Amino acid sequence: MATTWLPPAEFIETLPRATAYACLYFTDTHGRPLQLRATWQPELWQWPGGNMDPGETPWETAVRECREETGLVFEGRPRLLATHFTSHRAEQWPANHIGFIFDGGELTDAQIAAVVLDPEEHTEYRLHALAEWEREMNPASFRRLVEVDQARRTGATLYLESDDGH
């Protein structure tokens, strides 16, 4: 098989496109996950996080986005709970999307009370037990929540794939 060497910039043009996000998964001291309601899609609940900026690492993205979206300054160490791959859906997003979900640990009552949302991104935050979240979320997003919660409880790192756009 003959191969032709391409300069890096040309070779990169032949590769699949992907964007990346990173977030922090928090619970309160009772193990209830914290999620934020998205302004742009009110039925969508998210963890504090967002898309990576050029030159950022996934960890830097998670910490920055958490601060911007909640006012919380996270100073813990990176512990990856899961990676999430969402396949290309041309009508919704013209690239694959890869996520890094880090463990944010447990928030105290004082930390929760200090949350200040960015009103352009989120309208509210909630802490619920998993059974309550099941009633609030679409099935695919809820499955991801349960799996990430289990990864946190067991100490295992998880790999997820989806094509649901969430």
- Per-residue confidence (pLDDT) for residue 90, from 0 to 100: 58
Give me the number of domains the chain comprises.
Answer: 1
> Is 56 a member of any domain?
yes
> Is 31 a member of any domain?
yes
- Per-residue confidence (pLDDT) for residue 69, from 0 to 100: 97
- Per-residue confidence (pLDDT) for residue 1, from 0 to 100: 52
The domain in which residue 93 lies consists of: 17-162
pLDDT of the chain, 166 residues: tens digit per residue: 557 888 988 888 888 888 899 999 999 999 999 999 999 998 999 999 999 999 999 999 999 999 999 999 999 999 999 999 988 665 666 788 899 999 999 999 999 999 999 999 999 999 999 999 999 999 999 999 999 999 999 999 999 998 655 4
> Tell me, what CATH number does 91's domain have?
3.90.79.10
- Per-residue confidence (pLDDT) for residue 86, from 0 to 100: 87
> Is 86 a member of any domain?
yes
- Taking the C-alpha atoms of residue 26 and residue 158, their distance in angstroms, rounded to an integer, is 16
> Is 43 a member of any domain?
yes
- Per-residue confidence (pLDDT) for residue 57, from 0 to 100: 98
> Is 5 a member of any domain?
no
User: Hunting for tokens 């100073």 — which residue is that?
Assistant: 75
Task: Give the residue among 35, 41, 38, 43 at the shortest CA–CA distance from 101.
Answer: 35
> Is 2 a member of any domain?
no
> Is 118 a member of any domain?
yes
Quote the distance between the C-alpha of residue 7 and its chain's center: 34
Task: Indicate the pTM of the whole model.
Answer: 0.90
Task: Give the pair of three-digit tokens for residue 45.
Answer: 């609940």
> Is 104 a member of any domain?
yes
